Structure 1
Amino acid sequence: MPRKKKVTLSLLAKQLGLSVYTVSKALRGLPGMSEETRKEVLQLAHQLGYLTKDQENSLIYEGIPRLSVKQRRFLVITSSDISSSPSIQLLFQGLKERMFELGHKIDLAFMPDSLPAQSFPSWMELEGLPYADGLFITALIPRPLEALLLELKMPKILLNFPPVGAKVDSVIWDVHDATRQSVHYLTKNGHRDLLYFGDVDRTRGYKQRWLAFVEAMKQEGLPVREEDHLIHMPDNQVEWVDTFKRHMERMKPTALLCATEMSLAWIYYALSETGYQVPQDVSLIRLDHVHSSFIPGITHPVLLMKETGYRAADRMLWRLANAHLPYEHIRLQGPFFEGDTVKKLI
C-alpha cells in the first residue's frame, strides 16, 4: 500500500507557484505579501492538513489530539433566523471545518425565539441535546432561553460576550476593539461629527459596541449624547429611513459608523433621500465584516468570525480535557481595512 505523501513547505510552494520563503511568511503571519496570497496559502495548508511547528506545539500544549480515537458530536444552538445573519453562518463554517479536521462532528440545533420555558425540556430532547458531547451557544438566543442553556450540566462554549458571573467559557470576535479602531481612524482623518447607528438592545455584543463608541469618543475629547444617535432601531424599513433622515438633517455628521448587520442598500437609499454621497459628502465605516458586492471597498475593522469558530472548537476540546480549570473569556482581535469610503478632512 503506497504511503501518503508528506505535506511540506516545498509541496505547498510548488502547488501555489510561490517561493518556500513566501509560504513560510504567510503561515507565520509575517508582512510582505498581499492578503489574497496569504489567504491562498492558508487555505491550501488547511486543505492538506499542514501544521507549522508552532501549531503542532499548541495542540500538544492544550491537550488537543489531531485525530481523536473517539468521534464526538457537538451542537451549535442558534435561532431560526440564521439565514439573516452572515456572521453566524461564517462562525458555523469555522466550527465545522475545525471539528472535521480533528475528527469530530458538529450540527445545528434551531431554538425558536418564542419557545416557552415549559417547552424547553421537550425541545431539548427533540434536538438531541442530552446526547451531545458539548454545546456552542450563539448570540442570537434570547436571554431567558440562554439562561436555561447555561444551566445545563454539560460542556458549553458561549459564542457571545458572557453575562455577569456566567460559569461558561466564551469565545467572540472583539467588537470592542474594532469599534475603538473605527473611531480612532475617523478622528485621525479629521472627522469630529460622528453619527452612530445600531440597535443596542439586540445582543450583548451590540451593547458592547455602543459602550466602546462612547468610551472612544470621550478619549478623543468629543461629546456623546444618546439622543443624537440611532441606538434603538425600528424594524420597519420605512420607519428606519425616516428616522435616519431626521438625524442626518439635525446632526449633519461628516461620518457614519454602522454597527449592525443591516442591508447596505437601506443605508444608501436613505443617504440618497437626504442628498448625501459616500464618501464625497459623508464617510462610512461598517462594523460587521461581511463581504458586500454592493460596496466591495467599504472601510471596516476585520471581525474574525470564521477564526472565532476555529478557536471555539479548540476551546471546547480543551474544556473536555480540563473540566476542573477556571473559565476563560477569549476575544479575537482583527486588523483594520482602509477602504475607500472615508474621506480625509485634514
Structure 2
Amino acid sequence: MSPQQKALFLTQKQGKFELGSRSIPSPGAGQLLVKIQSAALNPVDHKIQDTSMYVTNYPAILGTDIAGIVEELGEGVENFRKGDRVLAHGGFTNDLGGFQQYALTVASYTAKIPSSQSFDSAATVPVGFDTALVGLYGNEFGAGKPIVIFGGSSSVGSYVIQLARLSGFYPIIATASPSNEDLVKDYGATHFFDRNLSGKQLMAAISKITDRPIEVVYDAISAPETQVVAWELLANNGTLIVTVPASVKEDEGKGRKAIHTFGYPHVPQNQELWCSSWAMLEKWLSEGTIQPNKYEVLPNGLEGIVGGLERLKLGQVSGRKLVAHPQETQ
C-alpha cells in the first residue's frame, strides 16, 4: 500500500471541504515531489468552491501557491536535488494541489527559495507573480509609459507594481485603502490614491501628475465597479487588464480593449514567458527585486484553510496573504 498523507478535499461541486487522506503521488518526467511546508490561499479557491470553475473531478484538492522541501525527483529533472527548499505554482489536479501534505510540482514552474526567505513568504509568490507577469508581458507595452494599478496592496497588484518598476513604467500610480499607502509605496508605486475616489476624482488627480495618456490600466480587483472607473481612465487605443472576464464593453472608434489575464502556467500559451521568468525568480527574490507579500499564518494546519477562505470571501483580508502549514494538521 502506498504511503498516505492528509489532504483537504472539496467533496463535490459547490460542496464543503473535508479533511481526508490519499496516497502520496510519485513524480513523473519533469516533476518533483514536494513536502509542503506552506500553502497560501487565493480568492480563486473560494470562487472554485462557489462556481466550480476550473475543476471538473471531485473530490478535488485546491491550492496553487506551494512552498516546501524536495523529496523526490522525476526523470529528467536536473536543476534540483532532494532537500532543496522550493516554491512552485500548483495546478487544478489533485496531484498538483497545494492543500495537502505532499504534492507534485512541474520543474519548469518551480524555483529554489533563497536563504533570505522563509517558506511562508515564498508561498505568497507564485499565483500573484504569474498573474501579474502574463498581464504585463503577454502583451506588447512600451517601457516608460504611465500605468495605473487598481488594488495595489492585493497580492496580484503588489507584483504588478514590482514588475512595472522592473520594466520601466513611469509614473506607477496605484490605488488601495489609505491604511496600505506605505505598503504600496514600498513595493514601488510612485504615486498613491485612495481606492474610494470616483472616476472623475481619480482622473483629475492623475492629470496633476502626468499629461501623458493612460494607455495601460491593470485592475487587480476587477469588480464591475472598478472596471467602470478603470475604463473611464483609459485613453483611446488603451488596454485594460483584468483578472476575471471583463464586464465593460469594448467600444467602436476609440479602440480601447479589455484583456482577461489568466495567471496559470500549465497551459500552452506563453510557455516561453513562463519558463524564462521562473528561471529568474530565485535571483529576483534573492536580490530583493521581487518582494513577497506580507502574510498571516493560519492555525490548525489544513483545517485552518476553511475559515481562511471564508474570510477571503467576506473581504476581511487586506494587504496580506493567508498561509497554512499542512504538516501541522492533527
Per the normalisation by structure 1, the TM-score is: 0.35
Report the structure, 1 or 2, having the larger helix content.
Answer: 1
- Which structure has the larger Rg over C-alpha atoms? 1
